[in-house]
Structure 1
C-alpha cells in the first residue's frame, strides 16, 4: 500500500465529513487507506463516519489523548509505505497525494514533505514553511523585526522566506495540519512526542527528523485548504497547555540556553499584558509568542 491518511478528529463533524470526501477523491488513483482516529468526541462524528464512510477505518478512543498520542495510535494501525498526518479541518486537492508521492520518490533522503496551505478565503498561510525557532529567530518574530525589515534575510528566517510561496525547496519545520513522510521514518523518530499534549508537536517532530540527517521539503505544486481554529479545544486550560507546550520544546532541544527560557517568559507576559490592556477577555488571550508553536490546530 502506498499511503495511509491519518485524520485525528475531535468534535468537528462537519469539517471531518468534507475532509474525508476530499481525501477519497484524492486517493482514487492511489493504493491508499483512510484512518480516522476520534479523540472521544461528544458530537456525532463517529456515527457519521460509520454511516457515510463504512470503508474508512475508525478508531474510537475512550478519552481525549491529545494530538501526539492520537496520531501515534493511528500510525500504529497504518499499512502504507507513506503516511499523511492530516487535520480534519482541511480539504485536499485532487492531485495533492499523487503529486507529493511522485516528488517524495524522487528524493534521495526525504524527511517530511508539506505543501502550500491556504485559508478558506484563498490566502497563503505562512506557517506552511518555517525555520527552527532558535533564540534569534524567536526574537525577530516576537518583536516583528521580519515586518520592519522584510528584505533582510537576517530577520526573515521564521517563515523560511528564503523560499517564495511558489517555490519548492528544503525547509526546517512543517505544520502538523499536513505532513507526508515514510511510515518507517515516523516510527524511527518515535512519532509525535506524547509528553507534549499539543501545539509544539509538529515543531518537535520536524526537528527530530532533521537530526536524523533527513531533508524536510515544502512542495508548492499543490495546495490544501486549512480552516484554522476549528479543531482547537478552547477551554479554561487552553493557555496553560499552550505555555506548557512551549516550555516542553525549549527544554527538550535548548536546555542550555538560559536566555531562551527567560526571553520566552518575558514575551508571554509582555503580550499577555498588551492583550489585557486592549480589553480582551482573559480566557481568549493569545499572546503573539504563540507563533512559536504549531498552528495546526489554530
Structure 2
C-alpha cells in the first residue's frame, strides 16, 4: 500500500522563507497534500499563499502557539495517517517522500523518522538540527550522526545507512499519527526547541521506534526563527533540556542528572562570560529559575505519562552511556563515529 502523507509547514510571519522554499516543497510533493499551519501571522504570508498557491490548505491557529502548540492544534485538521512536520526553511529534493513512505510500510513500529539533513548554506555539510539522526548521552546532552555540539562533518556518505536513533529532528519530522497521539503529542509547555526529542523519547517509551532514513535528503537553512547567537535560544535549550529529563527519566536518576547538570550548566555559563557573551550566561541562569518555578507542573505532566513505561537510558535506542561533553572537550574527540559504537 502506498500511503498519502500530509506535509505540514508551520508558519509565523515567514513570507520571505515561503517565497524561497515553498515552491520546491510543492514541486516535489505532488502525490501528497501540503498544508500550512499559520500561527497568527501579521505579515502578508497567508495572502501570498492564497494568491500564489491556492491548492495549499491553510489551517489557522488564531494565536502564536509556538512549534509545539501550533502543530498540536494544526494537526487536528489533518486526516492523513502520516504527516511530515516541515520547517519553512527546508529545501526538498525530487522523490524525497518516497523513501519515507517505503520506510513506514516496512517498519510498522516506526513512530517517527527523519531524512538526512544537510546545510543549505554549505550543502556538503550536515546541518546542526538533526544531521543524520539524533542521539543522547547519559546526562541528556543531544548530538547527531554528523554533528557533535557545534562541529559539523562533511557528508561523504559515511552515515547513509538507515538506523534506529533516539530522536528525529523537528526540522523535518515524519510521524505516524497513531504514535504521535499514543505518546501524548508535543508538549506545549516547551513552546519551542527540544520538543521533538521529548516526543521521540515518549514514543520509545510507548513501544515505537525512531529512525533516520538517509535515502531521503533535504537541505535546511537553520536559525530562521532563532539563530545560534540568540540568548532566547540558549534559554529555551537549557530550560527544556532539564524539563524533558525530569519528565522521562526514573525519579532518582532524574534528580541525580539534574544535580550534575546544575554544575555543568554553571561551567557553560562561565564559558559564555569568558567568551564575552554575558547575555547567554544570564539566559542559562534564567533557564534554571524557570525550570524550578515550573517543577510542580513538570511533576504533574510526568504523572500524566505514568501509563508509559519508565525506561532506563540503556534500554532505549540511540543512547550513549558515556559523556559526549567529556569526549568533545576533554578527549578532543569531535566526530560521532570516533566515540559512538
When the two structures are superposed, what TM-score results if normalisation uses the length of structure 2? 0.71
Q: 266, 269, 274: which is aligned to 2:266?
A: 269
**Aligned 8 A contact 1:40 1:62 in 2:** yes
1:180 equivalent to 2:177? Answer: no
Q: 14, 17, 20: which is aligned to 2:16?
A: 14
For 2:267 and 2:210, the matched residues in 1 are separated by 33
**Aligned-residue CA RMSD in angstroms?**
2.9
**Aligned 8 A contact 1:35 1:56 in 2:** yes
How many residues in Structure 1 have an aligned counterpart in Structure 2?
A: 268
Larger relative contact order (Cα-Cα within 8 Å, sequence gap ≥ 6) = 1
**Aligned 8 A contact 1:275 1:285 in 2:** no
SS at match of 2:71: helix
SS at match of 2:41: coil
**Aligned 8 A contact 1:38 1:60 in 2:** yes
Q: 236, 240, 248: which is aligned to 1:245?
A: 240
1:44 equivalent to 2:44? Answer: yes
1:61 Cα deviation after fit: 2.9
SS at match of 2:134: coil
Gaps of 5+ in 1: 148-158, 293-298
1:55 Cα deviation after fit: 1.6
1:236 Cα deviation after fit: 6.8
The change in CA–CA distance for 1:168 and 1:236 in structure 2 (over 3 A counts) is closer
1:284 Cα deviation after fit: 9.1
For 2:281 and 2:221, the matched residues in 1 are separated by 19
For 2:65 and 2:189, the matched residues in 1 are separated by 11
Further displaced range: 37-46 or 67-76? 37-46
1:42 Cα deviation after fit: 2.9
For 2:200 and 2:28, the matched residues in 1 are separated by 25
When the two structures are superposed, what TM-score results if normalisation uses the length of structure 1? 0.80
Further displaced range: 207-216 or 277-286? 277-286
- Please give the per-residue CA displacement for 1:5-38, whole angstroms capped at 9, x wherever unaligned: 111112222212333212211222x2x2111112
The change in CA–CA distance for 1:281 and 1:43 in structure 2 (over 3 A counts) is farther
> Which 4+ stretches in 1 moved above 3 angstroms?
233-243, 283-287
Gaps of 5+ in 2: 288-323, 326-341
For 1:280 and 1:235, the matched residues in 2 are separated by 10
For 2:259 and 2:170, the matched residues in 1 are separated by 27
**Aligned 8 A contact 2:269 2:280 in 1:** no
**Aligned 8 A contact 2:6 2:84 in 1:** yes
* Partner residue, 2:203: 209
**Aligned 8 A contact 1:75 1:183 in 2:** no
* Partner residue, 1:151: none
